[in-house]
Copies of this chain bind each other. A is one copy, B any other.
Amino acid sequence: MAATEIEQLIQILSKLPGLGPRSARRAALHLVKKKEVLLSPLSHALQRVEETVKTCSTCGNLDATDPCTICTDGRRDDSVICVVQDVADLWALERSNSFKGRYHVLGGTLSALDGIGPEDLKIDTLVNRAQSSLVTEVILATSATVDGQTTAHYIADCLENCDVSVSGLAHGVPVGGELDYLDDGTLSAALSARRKME
């Protein structure tokens, strides 16, 4: 068997999404063989992330500063908040380069099955932000899944007393599809053809 130290590394790597026990073993071996060019840089990158990256207390993005660079960027539009389930979706939208407003990361969707209720998501803070006079529109960019759409409708109800227009992403996002899997063009099209939530 491999040395205990390598076994521990394999065990931790196999917990990463996309890496099973076998690919974790390959990855560990690759790291050990490429100590200088891979293992050491990865070790340092992890330490840097551990030390610097925090959750933005305004929007929920992950960044080296709190508030994050998106929240503090003066060139972005304060009047629109785009609500996403996860930081990965925020990144996907940023990569699509089609949105210049602010974001709000929910941290998931409502889910009866997983026992996730409104109190488990950052909905209160969204409502607080939407009450600002600066905000005129909230785009609900949750997934086109049942849970994603249930969440969007729930949030639309919560925002009823705020003076904002509430919209959802246009059809164009494949039904059942997760945002992070889409190409930039589809995301961009779905965003620009967004429709008002009924």
Binding site for B on A (CB under 8 A): 1-6, 8-9, 12-13, 15-19, 23, 25-33, 35, 38-43, 45-50, 52-53, 62-64, 68-69, 86-88, 91, 94-95, 180
Q: Do B38 and A12 touch (CB < 8 A)?
A: yes
Give the complex CA separation of A167 and B43 in angstroms: 42
User: Do residues A16 and B31 form an inter-chain contact, with CB atoms below 8 A?
Assistant: yes
Complex CA–CA separation, A37 to B13 (angstroms): 12
Query: CB distance B6 to A49 under 8 Å?
Result: yes
- Bound CA span A173–B17, Å: 31
Residue numbers in B under 8 Å from A45 (CB-CB): 5, 8-9, 12
**Contacting pair A3 B46 (CB below 8 A):** no
Are A5 and B64 in contact, CB atoms less than 8 angstroms apart?
yes
Residues of B within 8 A of A31 (CB): 16, 46, 49
- With a CB–CB cut-off of 8 A, which chain B residues contact A5? 45, 48-49, 52-53, 64
The reply to whether B53 and A42 contact each other, CB–CB distance below 8 Å, is no
Q: Is the Cβ of A30 less than 8 Å from the Cβ of B2?
A: no
Partner of A64 from the list B3, B16, B40, B68 (CB cut-off 8 Å) is B3
